[in-house]
Amino acid sequence: MEEQISTPIIGSEDGQAVLSTWSISVGDKISVGQIIGSIETNKAVLELESTKNGIVKELLVAAGSEIADLQPLVTVSIES
Amino acid sequence: MVKALAVDPTEVRKRKTIDLGQIPVNAFSKSFNESLTDLGNEKIIFSFKTMLIIREFELMLEEIKKQGKYQEVAFKYAGPAHLSIGQEASAVGQALALDSADIILGSHRSHGETLAKGLFAIEKLSEQELSTKINSIETKHIVEKFKSTKTSIKDQAIDIFLFGLISEIFGKQTGFNKGLGGSMHAFFTPFGIYPNNAIVGGSAPIATGIALYNRVQRKDNIVIANIGDASSACGPVWESMNFAAMGQFKNDKDKKIKGGLPIIYFFVNNFYGMGGQPIGETMGYENLARVGAGINPDKLHAEVIDGNNIFAVHDAINRAKEIIASGKGPVLLDCQTYRFSGHSPSDASSYRTKEEIDAWKDVDPIHILENNILENKLMNISEIEKMQKDIKALTFNAFKNAIDDEIAPRLPLHTNPEIVGELTFNNTTKEIDFNFEAETLTDPSQIQRIQSLSNKSRLGKVQDELLSGTKAITFRDAIFEPILEHAIHDDSLVIYGEENRDWGGAFGVYRGLTELLPNHRLFNSPIAEAAIVGTAVGYAMAGGRALVELMYADFIGRAGDEIFNQLAKWQAMSGGILKLPVTLRISVGSKYGAQHSQDWSSLLTHIPGLKVIYPATAYDAKGLMASALESNDPVVFVENQRLYDNVETINSLGIPRDYYKIEIGKPALVLEGKDITIFSVGACLNRALAAAEILKSKWNISAEIIDARSLVPFDPDLLIKSVAKTKKLVCISDACERGNWLHGVINLIYEKNGNDLKTKISSVMAPNWITPAAEQEWNYFPSVENILDAVMDQGIKLVGREHSSTVDVVKNFKNGI
């Protein structure tokens, strides 16, 4: 089964944010609460936490991309 | 503090007790002979003489107030006289222990403190130093009129000092502060005497700010905040003591500045406010010194001392100085004494008994010391009588000259009332010195935000495409850029406020500065708005430059006195001697309801003495922030949170990379038009532009838009010319209608453009009630539709559009809304 990790609702005026770095790669095993990347807004640099347990199948945006609130960022294969 | 202070639940949840320890009361036990050995004859005799001068000075004022004369010479004085008869030992014991460079700020009842500090400074300074000080910018207006006939520099200095003080009290132009301070505000910085305050406890935040300056600038002199016992109930006093004792000061790595602030909170405890009694009536503490236990584990080294014994006071100050020198300040001293005189001459002493006053007169500090001096043969009775006679002559001489309108005239306010206006602002600047490198922690180019700023577009729109705030410089970035330059190139600049470090301020304006600046130049303040603004006043007064922040305009009330009475007034109250380069950033919220979304810009403009800036574009924000930071006047920089993420789309050149300034006081012509003028304040500009676009596209109406940019000062010429051309005016502001700054502008336009106007001026302002919740905000703040209605009120037909809003002004007046 596959699920996605999405951008949290950041709360900046117009959702302006950039996925600044990834700290995971395809194939990595990740768990809930793990820091998987960072998001830069004009106000702050935020840590992106995993909301899933599983294996990273695909990174849906490249580092440096603008992202919107609730946009899917990672596809995760969920362990059964 | 950058994740360095861990909050460990195991530790937090342990069972234990907090040991408050003990606070000494009247611990001083030395005999007169021991003090004599310590100090020597001369210092004791000089102290005695100073006490006699203070007593005579206060008796003079009492006689003038009650009998209209002094030594048989009639004089009527209309101002206040809060006398300190009986409290002389506390002032003199304090001054005896201080160096001339140490700084005091006086209490509400400050003549004695001022006299003691000044006379001891004269005694301690060399003739050459004295000569410089009595011929300085602070004394120029005094010595031009008054010539001492004495031969020695010291005696001349005493004459000038007494004459300057009495002149100030009598409101004469030859007073220290040209008569604009008066009895409760007379001060003289060359002798280390900084402002006294008519606001009870008002000295505490300012003194704390001066101590902050001394710490940041690594100076050794200490500061004393003289405050009355009743001020211990005041929030700003409490905030100040907390501010001075902040844990982060103790933890600083820089040894030279490590430790709490170098300040003594010297409570002159005479047991009464005006008539209310803190102990037993208006406070629960039973002993004032107990409040030290609420501040830090050192209890502020609090002690109760005998304020009727100069040696006990001297000893306590000396020990406090040692504590401060070891980095363990601040210190609280509860100096118990008593005023024989009433609160003021009209005081009928309805709140205390004659027996109580007599019991204290039995321990009159002057008699105690006089008896000691006689018993130990330091002086004999005839020498003391001669001293008293000389002091009467000295005081009379100062009095006689100060009441002489030839020698001591008043400022000619009847013929030129604008003299005071001209002292309100100095309109000077300290230009940034790009060759100077201030203390920083790292090369700015290594900081992530600064790197990303250098990659951002300076234009908000490229080939008609609106860029996001991650790709183009935003309003937030535009504010940051000049602040960064000043942080790098001005060592005297400190930046603080709530959550300013790490967070970079609640709205991220300072993001990146934490990595750049050492903690002592950028730090988190306590949630203490009075202390934030009040300390900035003191820091600036001492010679520094402060950039401080109130997170929301709604918090202005929490710093009410510090903004309205201290920041706004001291330049004029000092007769133009003090400069207050403070930039106070205040944000106007949105979407946060009634206590976090109010636009109080108009309220700020009501207070004489504040420059008020309210930029609406990123380009203006950058240039105006640079001007604010260079200004030697206090500037309130209002930022609307709606704008922080905006990129620059209005100025076609975008936001220049280099440092630039925009003159404070000049509005901007944002859009040229011919049919109607829309005059906008603050964040309303974007709504004005949206309305103008609709007017153009739907009805081919050409609106001219002027953005105020600065509210105080404000040059109306551009607006006058515009209205002369369009003959129609709509004004918009997010501040509520009653007392709105725009009413003054509207009156001015009626006066200047009365013959041009086709109809009465229309205005759109927030109504006189609370800001509703986020979803309902646009039923409160001026909207594009409201502006279009106002345009229709100007007699412009918008075919097919219905007028949607009506305001019954008379009804609202009647209902108080």
pLDDT digits (tens, 9 = 90+) for B288-316: 999 999 999 999 999 999 999 999 999 99
The CA–CA distances, whole Å, from B746 to B609, B751, B752, B813 equal 22, 9, 10, 19
Asked if the Cβ–Cβ distance from A18 to B645 is below 8 Å, we say no
Q: Please give the structure tokens belonging to residue B171.
A: 């409101």
**Distance from C-alpha of B130 to C-alpha of B136, rounded to nearest angstrom:** 10
Instruction: Report the DSSP pairing between strands B461-462 and B331-336.
Output: unpaired
pLDDT for the residue B743: 98
Please give, rounded to a whole number of angstroms, the shortest distance from the CA of A52 to a CA of chain B: 27
Q: What percent of chain B has pLDDT over 70?
A: 100
Instruction: Report the DSSP pairing between strands A72-77 and A2-6.
Output: antiparallel
Q: How many CB atoms lie within 10 A of CB B357?
A: 16
Sheet with strand B635-640: strands edge to edge = B522-524, B493-497, B545-550, B582-588, B635-640, B611-613, B710-712
For B804, residues 6+ apart whose C-beta sits below 8 A from its C-beta are B785, B789
- Per-residue pLDDT reduced to its tens digit, B767-817: 999 999 999 999 999 999 999 999 999 999 999 999 987 788 899 999 999
Confidence of residue B2 (pLDDT cuts 50, 70, 90): low
Partner-chain residue, chosen from B474, B508, B645, that has the shortest CB–CB distance to A44: B508
Please give, rounded to a whole number of angstroms, the shortest distance from the CA of B552 to a CA of chain A: 16
For B656, residues 6+ apart whose C-beta sits below 8 A from its C-beta are B458, B622
Instruction: Report the DSSP pairing between strands B103-105 and B193-194.
Output: parallel
Question: Is the predicted pLDDT of residue B49 greater than 80, yes or no?
Answer: yes
For residue A12, list chain B residues with Cβ-Cβ distance below 8 A: 645
pLDDT for the residue A12: 58
Does residue B108 or residue B157 have the better pLDDT?
B157
Please give, rounded to a whole number of angstroms, the shortest distance from the CA of A21 to a CA of chain B: 13
What's phi and psi for A68, nearest 5 deg? -110, 160
- In a mutagenesis test of the A interface, which of B453, B466, B470, B499 is the best target, namely the one with the most A β-carbons within 10 Å? B470
**Distance from C-alpha of B516 to C-alpha of B444, rounded to nearest angstrom:** 6
- Per-residue pLDDT reduced to its tens digit, B650-659: 998 899 999 9
Please give, rounded to a whole number of angstroms, the shortest distance from the CA of A13 to a CA of chain B: 7
Chain A contact present for B48, CB below 8 A: no
Tokens 């010479």 correspond to B73
Partner-chain residue, chosen from B448, B452, B470, that has the shortest CB–CB distance to A66: B470
If we measure between CA atoms, which residue out of B153, B220, B232, B157 comes closest to residue B188? Answer: B157
- Output the average pLDDT for chain B: 95
The sign of the CA dihedral B473, B474, B478, B481 is: negative
Interface ipTM: 0.78
Chain A residue with the nearest C-alpha to that of B641: A13
Tokens 């929301």 correspond to B552
For B795, residues 6+ apart whose C-beta sits below 8 A from its C-beta are B728, B758, B759
pLDDT for the residue B255: 81
* B456-459: long-range contacts, CB 8 A cutoff, minimum separation 24: B457/B647, B457/B654, B458/B648, B458/B654, B458/B655, B458/B656, B458/B657, B459/B647, B459/B648, B459/B653, B459/B654
Beta-strand ranges (E) seen in B708-796 are: 710-712, 729-736, 762-766
Partner-chain residue, chosen from A43, A45, A66, that has the shortest CB–CB distance to B468: A66
The CA–CA distances, whole Å, from B261 to A6, B219, B405 equal 48, 11, 44
Q: Please give the structure tokens belonging to residue B633.
A: 């006047």
Confidence of residue B348 (pLDDT cuts 50, 70, 90): confident
For B34, residues 6+ apart whose C-beta sits below 8 A from its C-beta are none
For B172, residues 6+ apart whose C-beta sits below 8 A from its C-beta are B179, B402, B408, B409, B410
Contact at 8 Å (CB) between B543 and B143? Answer: no
**Distance from C-alpha of B496 to C-alpha of B524, rounded to nearest angstrom:** 6
Chain B contact present for A71, CB below 8 A: no
> What amino acid is encoded at B33 in this protein?
N
Q: How many CB atoms lie within 10 A of CB B796?
A: 19
Determine which one of B108, B343, B520, B596 is catalytic. B596
User: How big is chain A, counted in residues?
Assistant: 80
- In a mutagenesis test of the A interface, which of B465, B509, B551, B645 is the best target, namely the one with the most A β-carbons within 10 Å? B645
Tokens 């001489």 correspond to B397
Report the Cα–Cα distance between both ends of chain B, in Å, rounded.
Answer: 46
Chain A contact present for B642, CB below 8 A: yes
Chain A contact present for B504, CB below 8 A: yes
pLDDT for the residue B806: 79
Q: How many CB atoms lie within 10 A of CB B20?
A: 12
The CA–CA distances, whole Å, from B492 to A3, B211, B566, B637 equal 55, 14, 21, 20
Tokens 């051309």 correspond to B725
pLDDT for the residue B350: 87
Question: Is the predicted pLDDT of residue B319 greater than 90, yes or no?
Answer: yes
**Distance from C-alpha of B96 to C-alpha of B171, rounded to nearest angstrom:** 29
DSSP B597-642: ----HHHHHHSTT-EEE---SHHHHHHHHHHHHHBSS-EEEEEEGG
Contact at 8 Å (CB) between B258 and B252? Answer: yes
For residue A43, list chain B residues with Cβ-Cβ distance below 8 A: 476, 504, 507-508, 511, 644
**Distance from C-alpha of B805 to C-alpha of B791, rounded to nearest angstrom:** 12
> What amino acid is encoded at B94 in this protein?
Q
pLDDT for the residue B349: 81
> What amino acid is encoded at B813 in this protein?
F
For residue A63, list chain B residues with Cβ-Cβ distance below 8 A: none
Q: Please give the structure tokens belonging to residue A19.
A: 């996925």
DSSP, collapsed to helix, strand or coil, labels residue B363 as coil
Q: Please give the structure tokens belonging to residue B540.
A: 């600036």
B301 is catalytic: no
Question: Is the predicted pLDDT of residue A43 greater than 90, yes or no?
Answer: no
Tokens 């918008």 correspond to B798
Q: How many CB atoms lie within 10 A of CB B19?
A: 7
Question: Is the predicted pLDDT of residue B184 greater than 90, yes or no?
Answer: no
- Per-residue pLDDT reduced to its tens digit, B590-640: 888 899 999 999 999 999 999 999 999 999 999 999 999 999 999 999 999
Chain A contact present for B499, CB below 8 A: no
pLDDT for the residue B739: 96
For residue B643, list chain A residues with Cβ-Cβ distance below 8 A: none
**Distance from C-alpha of B177 to C-alpha of B167, rounded to nearest angstrom:** 9
Report the Cα–Cα distance between both ends of chain A, in Å, rounded.
Answer: 8
pLDDT for the residue B583: 98
- In a mutagenesis test of the B interface, which of A38, A43, A47, A66 is the best target, namely the one with the most B β-carbons within 10 Å? A43
The CA–CA distances, whole Å, from B666 to B425, B662, B710, B715, B777 equal 16, 8, 7, 6, 30
**Distance from C-alpha of B644 to C-alpha of B469, rounded to nearest angstrom:** 9
The CA–CA distances, whole Å, from B793 to A52, B29, B698, B790, B806 equal 59, 82, 17, 5, 10
pLDDT for the residue B185: 87
**Distance from C-alpha of B737 to C-alpha of B733, rounded to nearest angstrom:** 8
Does an H or E element contain B591, and which?
none
If we measure between CA atoms, which residue out of B518, B510, B5, B431 comes closest to residue B218? Answer: B518
Partner-chain residue, chosen from B477, B511, B642, that has the shortest CB–CB distance to A44: B511
Q: Please give the structure tokens belonging to residue B52.
A: 């006699």
- Per-residue pLDDT reduced to its tens digit, B121-154: 999 999 999 999 998 889 999 999 999 999 999 9
Contact at 8 Å (CB) between B666 and B710? Answer: yes
Q: Please give the structure tokens belonging to residue B49.
A: 């003489």
Q: What percent of chain B has pLDDT over 90?
A: 92
Tally: H helices and E strands in chain A:
0, 8
Residues B505-522, mean pLDDT to the nearest whole number: 94
**Distance from C-alpha of B302 to C-alpha of B335, rounded to nearest angstrom:** 10
Confidence of residue A13 (pLDDT cuts 50, 70, 90): low
**Distance from C-alpha of B539 to C-alpha of B548, rounded to nearest angstrom:** 11
Chain B contact present for A41, CB below 8 A: yes
Contact at 8 Å (CB) between B419 and B426? Answer: no
**Distance from C-alpha of B334 to C-alpha of B300, rounded to nearest angstrom:** 11
Chain B contact present for A11, CB below 8 A: no
Q: What is the dihedral of CA B567, B561, B175, B413, to 10 degrees?
A: 80
Question: Is the predicted pLDDT of residue B3 greater than 90, yes or no?
Answer: no
Question: Is the predicted pLDDT of residue B552 greater than 70, yes or no?
Answer: yes
Asked if the Cβ–Cβ distance from B644 to A45 is below 8 Å, we say no
Residues B565-579, mean pLDDT to the nearest whole number: 96
Asked if the Cβ–Cβ distance from A42 to B504 is below 8 Å, we say no
pTM: 0.95
Partner-chain residue, chosen from A18, A43, A66, that has the shortest CB–CB distance to B507: A43
